[in-house]
C-alpha cells in the first residue's frame, strides 16, 4: 500500500489515481456487483441455502485450483490436475468397492496417486526440462488413459457386476461423510475447502518457505544465485498440486458415491480459470490463494445465478470466458512501473 | 567520403556523457577508439549509428550533414554498427548461407528462393575474405568468433561503407585474433572505414591507423598510430590517478579462511589457486573475456562441484545451494536479471535469509536498519526493487546477503552502470562486510575501482591468473599492461 501511494504521488498526476484504484480492485468490484445484481433480480439468490449451495458447488474445483495456484507460484503450470482428480476418484472407489478397504486406505491410495503424478510432472519439467504446459498436457493424457484402462471404461459403483458375481464392497459411511456430511450446518466439503485454503494461505504468505517459492517463480536465475534450490521448490510445487487434485478426487468420489470415469476432466478448465482470475486480482499479476478462492467464488456465483435466470448451461461457458478476459485485461492493461 | 562526428554533445538526464567530441574516419582507415568504461565510447558509437540522436553537434558524410533518426537510416547511408552481442541480428535456427543473404534477398525483392544458388553465392562471399566454411551449418552451432566474422561479411556484402566494431575481439584466442586481423586488412583494401573499440593494446597498435582516446566524455588524445606509444595512450586513458582514494594497505594476519587449489575454468588453462584471509579484499582484475564471470560462477558452485578449504575444513561444494550454506555470497554482474527481484519490495530482499514464520514488523525493523546504514533511497521498506535506481538496486542486491554473515563474498563487476555517488557508498558497504570478518573477492575490469578497494590484486587473462601484486605496488598502467600482454611483467620492461 505504502509503495503504491508513493509511486502515484511521484509518477502519476492526481487525476490518474482513480483508474489506478479501479485496476487494483476492479475484479473485487465485479464480484460484489455480480452478487448484488443477482440478489436484486432473484429473491432466492441471496439466501443461506443458496449461498451454501454455491460454496458446496465450488469446493471441489477450488481444490484443483489451489493445485494450479501452487504450480503458478513457481512460474510453472499444471494442466494434469483434472486427470489426477479422475484417477483419485477411481482409486478411492476401487479401494472401497473392489478391495473392501477401510477409510484410511481409501484415503491414502488416492493421495499416493496424486504424489506420483506430481513427481512424474516434476521429472519431466525439472529433470528433462520440458516446457511445463506441454509436459503436464502429456501427463494429463497418460493419467487419463491409466484411469480408463484400469476401470476398463466403466464406472465403479456399489453392487456392480463382475466375473465373480456382484461386488460386495461398500462406500462406507465414514467415507461418504467427507463429501456429504455436515458439521454445525455447514457442508463438510465447504469446511474442508476453507481449511485447506487457510492452510495454503498461511503457508504461502506467512512462511519463509512459501516466500522462497514466490522468489523462485519471480526470478529463477536470481533465486539460484542466492542459493535457493530452484529444482527443489519446483518439485515440491508439483507434488502439492498433485495432492490437491487427489483431495478433489476423494471429495468427488465421496460426494457422488460412485467412481465415475473421467469425472475430473470438466473441472480442469474451471480450476485454471479460477487460478488465473486470482492471478489477475488486485492488479498484481501474482498468483495467490485468496485470489484463487475469489476467482472460484466468482465463477460459482455466475453459474448459479445464470442457472436461476434460466440461461442454458451451454451458454454459460461464454460468460465464463468473458469474465476471464475481463479480469486479465484489468491486470494487464495496468502499467507496472517496477516492470518496464 | 569521410564520416565525421563534429563537436558532438550528449547526455542522459543531468549527466553529460560526451562533451564536444570530434571524431572522423576515412575510407580504408582503421580508427581505434579507446577509453575506460563510462568514458563515452559506446555512446559515441550509438550516436554514429543513429541509435541515439545527438543533443549537440552534427554527423557528416563528405561534409554533408546527415541526421539519422534510426539505425535503419544510418545503415542505408552505409554505416553498420556491430555490438558486442554478436547474436543480435543473426537468426540462430537458420543456416550460415541463409543468414548471409537474408538482407540481400530482401533488397532484391526476390520471392522465389533457390537453396542451391544461395549456397553458391554465400560460399563466394566468404571466399572473398579467405573463409572456407561449410555454409549449411546452423548459426546456433557457430562459435562467437565465427558469428562475429559472419556479421562483418554480411554487413560488407550489404554495401556497408563504415563499420563500427565494439570490442569485436574480446573473447578471441590468439589464432582467431590473427585471422580477424587479416579480415580487417582485406576490408581496408576494399576502402571500408572502420571504427574499432578494443582493450587489447597490442591489437590496436597492430591494426589501427589512428588512435583516439576518450576520458570522462572528452577527447584527450588523437594521434597517428605510428606517432604515439603504449605508455602515452594508457596515461591518456587513466589520466593519472591522483584522484583515486585508496584503502590503507595492511598485511593481514592469520590463516586463510577460504582456499581453492586448481579450480578449472578452461580445459586448456591450469586451474585457479586462491586463498583469502578474514577481512581481506582481493581483487581479480581482467579485461572482457578474461574469465572473471566464469571464475565467479565456478566459485559459487553454479558450474561444477569442486572442493574448497573453508575455515580449515575441506568442503565439497555441489551447487549454488551448497555454496550459500557453506557461507559463500555472490553479487552477480547482471544486476537486474540475476541480483534482484524487480517485482518484490526492499524488505523481502533484505529478509530473504530469514527462516520460519514471517513477522512483518521484525522484518521491517531489520530492513530499516540496513536501509539507513547504506542510504538506500527512497528509504521505504515496501518500495519495489524494480522501481529503484541502478545504484540503489545494487545496494539491495548486496544488502540481501548481510543477514547471512558470509565467509566469502564474491562481487562480479558490481559498479557497472553506477553513478559516482552511489559507488562510494557501495565501496563502503563492501568494506563493512570485510570488517565483519568476511573475505571479499572483487572481480572487475576497471583499474580505478580495483585500486580503490583492493588489499591484494591478481590479474586474470585468458582464464588463468598471470600475476599477483599488493595494492600499494599496483598502478592502473601496470594492471592494464599485464592484462593485455597476458603475462607477468618481467624486470626491466
In the block, cell 581483487 appears at B283
Q: Using an 8 Å CB-CB cutoff, list chain A residues near B385.
A: 338
Question: Is the Cα torsion angle A173, A174, A180, A185 positive or negative in sign?
Answer: positive
Query: What is the per-residue pLDDT for A337?
Result: 47
The C-alpha cell that represents A297 in the structure block: 467464488
Query: What is the per-residue pLDDT for A18?
Result: 59
Q: Residue A222 is nearest to which of B323, B339, B384, comparing CB atoms?
A: B339
Query: Is the CB of A3 less than 8 angstroms away from the CB of B383?
Result: yes
* Nearest-Cα residue of chain A relative to residue B300: A225
Pair type for strands B56-61 and B3-12? antiparallel
Residue A9 scores a pLDDT above 80:
no
Query: What is the per-residue pLDDT for B17?
Result: 82
Query: What is the per-residue pLDDT for A334?
Result: 63
Residue A116 scores a pLDDT above 50:
yes
Query: What is the per-residue pLDDT for A244?
Result: 97
Domain A25-36+43-334 has CATH 2.60.40: no
pLDDT bin (cut points 50, 70, 90) of residue A340 is very low
Q: Using an 8 Å CB-CB cutoff, list chain B residues near A212.
A: 352
Query: What is the per-residue pLDDT for A115?
Result: 97
Q: Residue B387 is nearest to which of A2, A7, A205, comparing CB atoms?
A: A7
ipTM of this complex: 0.82
Query: Is the CB of A226 less than 8 angstroms away from the CB of B380?
Result: no
Q: Residue A215 is nearest to which of B300, B321, B341, comparing CB atoms?
A: B341
- Within the 296-325 window of chain B, which residues sit less than 8 Å (CB to CB) from chain A? 300, 302, 319-325
Query: Is the CB of B358 less than 8 angstroms away from the CB of A206?
Result: yes
Q: Residue B344 is nearest to which of A2, A207, A218, comparing CB atoms?
A: A218
Termini Cα distance of chain A: 20
- For each of the domains in chain B, give its residue range(s) and CATH number, in order of start: 3-238 (3.40.50.300), 258-485 (3.40.50.300)
Cβ–Cβ pairs < 8 A, chains A and B: 93
Query: What is the per-residue pLDDT for B155?
Result: 87
d(CA B434, CA B58): 49
* Nearest-Cα residue of chain A relative to residue B336: A222
For B57-74, what is each residue's pLDDT tens digit?
Answer: 889 988 888 888 888 888
Q: Min CA distance, A227 vs chain B (Å)?
A: 4
Q: Residue A6 is nearest to which of B319, B332, B378, comparing CB atoms?
A: B378
Query: Is the CB of B380 less than 8 angstroms away from the CB of A3?
Result: yes
Q: Residue B386 is nearest to which of A214, A285, A338, comparing CB atoms?
A: A338
| B244 inside 8 A of chain A by CB | no
* Nearest-Cα residue of chain B relative to residue A222: B338
d(CA B483, CA B481): 5
Termini Cα distance of chain B: 42
| B338 inside 8 A of chain A by CB | yes
Query: What is the per-residue pLDDT for B408?
Result: 95
Asked if B201 and B230 touch (Cβ cutoff 8 Å), the reply is: yes
| B379 inside 8 A of chain A by CB | no
| B378 inside 8 A of chain A by CB | yes
How would you class B146 by CB atoms within 10 Å of its CB: exposed for 0-12, middle for 13-18, buried for 19 or more? Answer: middle
Q: Mean pLDDT throughout A11-38? A: 69
Residue A142 scores a pLDDT above 60:
yes
Pick from B328, B302, B283: which is nearest to B459 by CA?
B283
- Per-chain mean pLDDT for chain A: 87
Query: What is the per-residue pLDDT for A1?
Result: 38
Query: Is the CB of B348 less than 8 angstroms away from the CB of A211?
Result: yes
Exposure b/e, B315-353, CB count within 10 A at least 16 = b = bebebbbbbbebbbbbbbbebbebbbbbbbbbbbbbbbb
Beta-sheet strand order (sheet of B193-197): B79-82, B162-166, B193-197, B30-34, B210-215, B218-224
**Taking the domains of chain A in order of start, what are their residue ranges?**
25-36+43-334
pLDDT bin (cut points 50, 70, 90) of residue A2 is very low
Pick from A263, A329, A270, A265: which is nearest to A301 by CA?
A270
Query: Is the CB of A338 less than 8 angstroms away from the CB of B356?
Result: no
How would you class B361 by CB atoms within 10 Å of its CB: exposed for 0-12, middle for 13-18, buried for 19 or more? Answer: exposed
Mean pLDDT, 10 residues at a time, chain B of 493 residues: 88 79 92 82 88 88 87 87 79 88 77 82 87 88 86 86 86 79 90 87 87 89 89 79 63 85 86 91 89 93 92 91 94 90 92 90 93 88 87 91 92 82 85 91 89 91 89 84 71 40
Query: What is the per-residue pLDDT for B242?
Result: 47
Query: Is the CB of B344 less than 8 angstroms away from the CB of A7?
Result: no
Amino acid at each position: 500500500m505504502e509503495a503504491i501511494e508513493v509511486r502515484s504521488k511521484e509518477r502519476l498526476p492526481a487525476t490518474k489515481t482513480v483508474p489506478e484504484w479501479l485496476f487494483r480492485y476492479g475484479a473485487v468490484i465485479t464480484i460484489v456487483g455480480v452478487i448484488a445484481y443477482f440478489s436484486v433480480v432473484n429473491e432466492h439468490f441471496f439466501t443461506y441455502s443458496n449461498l451454501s449451495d454455491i460454496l458446496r458447488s465450488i469446493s471441489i474445483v477450488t481444490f484443483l485450483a489451489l493445485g494450479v495456484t501452487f504450480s503458478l507460484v513457481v512460474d510453472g503450470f499444471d494442466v494434469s490436475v483434472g486427470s489426477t482428480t479422475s484417477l483419485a476418484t477411481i482409486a478411492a472407489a476401487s479401494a472401497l468397492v473392489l478391495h473392501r478397504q477401510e477409510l484410511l486406505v481409501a484415503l491414502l491410495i488416492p493421495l499416493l496417486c496424486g504424489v506420483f503424478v506430481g513427481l512424474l510432472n516434476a521429472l519431466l519439467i525439472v529433470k528433462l526440462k520440458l516446457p511445463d504446459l506441454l509436459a503436464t498436457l502429456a501427463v494429463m493424457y497418460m493419467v487419463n488413459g491409466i484411469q480408463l484402462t484400469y476401470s476398463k471404461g466403466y464406472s465403479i459403483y456399489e453392487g456392480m457386476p463382475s466375473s465373480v458375481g456382484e461386488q460386495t464392497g461398500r462406500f462406507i459411511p465414514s467415507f461418504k461423510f467427507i463429501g456429504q456430511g455436515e458439521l454445525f450446518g455447514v457442508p463438510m466439503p465447504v469446511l474442508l475447502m476453507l481449511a485447506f485454503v487457510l492452510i495454503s494461505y498461511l503457508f504461502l504468505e506467512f512462511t519463509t518457505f512459501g516466500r522462497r517459492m514466490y522468489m523462485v517463480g519471480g526470478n529463477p536465475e536470481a533465486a539460484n544465485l542466492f542459493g535457493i534450490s530452484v529444482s527443489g521448490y519446483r518439485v515440491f510445487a508439483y507434488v502439492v498440486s498433485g495432492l490437491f487434485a487427489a483431495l478433489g478426487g476423494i471429495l468427488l468420489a465421496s460426494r457422488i458415491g460412485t467412481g465415475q470415469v473421467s469425472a475430473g476432466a470438466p473441472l480442469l478448465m474451471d480450476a485454471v480459470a479460477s487460478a488465473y482470475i486470482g492471478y489477475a486480482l488486485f492488479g498484481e499479476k501474482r498468483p495467490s490463494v485468496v485470489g484463487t478462492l475469489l476467482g472460484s467464488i466468482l465463477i460459482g456465483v455466475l453459474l448459479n445465478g445464470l442457472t436461476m435466470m434460466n440461461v442454458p448451461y451451454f451458454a454459460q461457458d461464454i460468460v465464463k470466458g468473458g469474465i476471464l478476459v475481463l479480469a486479465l485485461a484489468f491486470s494487464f492493461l495496468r502499467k507496472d512501473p517496477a516492470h518496464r | 567520403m569521410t564520416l565525421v562526428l563534429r563537436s558532438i554533445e550528449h547526455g542522459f538526464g543531468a549527466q553529460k556523457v560526451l562533451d564536444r567530441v570530434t571524431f572522423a574516419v576515412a575510407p580504408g582507415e582503421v580508427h581505434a577508439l579507446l577509453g575506460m568504461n563510462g568514458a563515452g565510447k559506446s555512446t559515441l558509437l550509438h550516436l554514429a549509428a543513429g541509435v541515439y540522436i545527438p543533443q549537440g553537434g552534427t554527423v557528416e558524410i563528405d561534409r554533408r550533414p546527415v541526421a539519422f533518426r534510426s539505425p535503419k537510416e544510418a545503415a542505408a547511408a552505409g554505416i553498420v554498427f556491430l555490438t558486442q552481442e554478436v547474436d543480435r541480428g543473426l537468426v540462430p535456427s537458420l543456416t550460415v548461407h541463409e543468414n548471409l543473404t537474408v538482407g540481400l534477398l530482401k533488397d532484391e525483392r526476390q520471392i522465389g528462393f533457390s537453396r542451391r544458388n544461395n549456397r553458391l553465392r554465400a560460399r563466394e562471399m566468404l571466399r572473398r575474405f579467405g573463409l572456407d566454411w561449410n555454409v549449411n551449418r546452423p548459426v546456433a552451432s557457430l562459435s562467437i568468433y565465427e558469428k562475429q566474422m559472419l556479421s562483418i561479411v554480411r554487413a560488407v556484402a550489404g554495401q556497408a561503407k563504415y563499420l563500427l566494431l565494439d570490442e569485436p575481439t574480446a573473447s578471441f584466442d590468439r589464432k582467431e585474433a590473427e585471422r580477424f586481423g587479416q579480415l580487417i586488412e582485406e576490408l581496408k583494401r576494399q576502402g571500408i572505414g572502420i571504427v574499432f573499440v578494443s582493450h587489447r593494446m597490442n591489437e590496436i597498435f597492430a591494426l589501427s591507423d589512428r588512435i583516439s582516446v576518450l576520458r570522462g566524455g572528452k577527447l584527450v588524445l588523437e594521434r597517428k598510430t605510428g606517432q604515439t606509444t603504449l605508455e602515452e595512450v594508457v596515461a591518456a586513458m587513466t589520466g593519472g590517478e591522483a584522484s583515486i582514494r585508496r584503502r590503507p594497505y595492511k598485511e593481514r594476519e592469520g590463516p586463510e579462511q577460504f582456499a581453492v587449489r586448481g579450480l578449472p575454468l578452461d580445459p586448456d588453462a591450469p586451474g585457479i589457486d586462491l586463498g583469502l584471509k578474514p577481512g581481506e579484499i582481493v581483487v581479480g582484475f581482467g579485461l572482457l573475456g578474461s574469465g572473471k564471470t566464469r571464475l565467479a560462477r565456478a566459485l559459487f558452485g553454479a558450474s561444477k562441484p569442486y572442493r574448497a578449504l573453508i575455515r580449515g575444513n575441506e568442503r565439497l561444494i555441489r551447487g549454488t545451494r551448497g555454496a550459500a550454506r557453506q557461507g559463500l555470497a555472490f553479487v552477480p554482474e547482471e544486476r537486474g536479471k540475476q541480483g534482484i527481484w524487480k517485482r518484490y519490495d526492499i524488505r523481502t530482499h533484505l529478509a530473504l535469509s530469514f527462516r520460519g514464520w514471517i513477522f512483518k514488523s521484525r522484518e521491517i525493523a531489520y530492513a530499516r536498519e540496513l536501509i539507513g546504514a547504506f542510504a538506500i533511497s527512497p528509504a521505504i521498506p515496501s518500495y519495489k526493487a524494480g522501481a529503484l535506481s541502478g545504484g540503489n538496486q545494487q545496494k539491495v542486491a548486496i544488502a540481501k546477503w548481510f543477514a547471512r554473515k558470509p565467509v566469502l563474498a564474491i562481487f562480479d563487476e558490481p559498479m557497472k552502470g553506477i553513478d559516482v555517488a552511489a559507488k562510494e557508498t557501495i565501496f563502503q558497504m563492501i568494506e563493512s562486510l570485510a570488517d565483519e570478518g568476511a573475505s571479499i573477492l572483487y572481480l572487475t575490469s576497471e583499474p580505478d575501482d580495483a585500486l580503490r578497494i583492493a588489499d591484494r590484486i591478481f590479474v586474470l587473462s585468458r582464464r588463468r591468473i598471470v600475476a599477483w601484486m599488493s595494492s600499494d605496488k599496483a598502478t592502473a598502467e601496470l594492471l592494464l599492461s599485464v592484462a593485455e600482454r597476458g603475462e607477468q611483467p618481467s624486470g626491466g620492461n
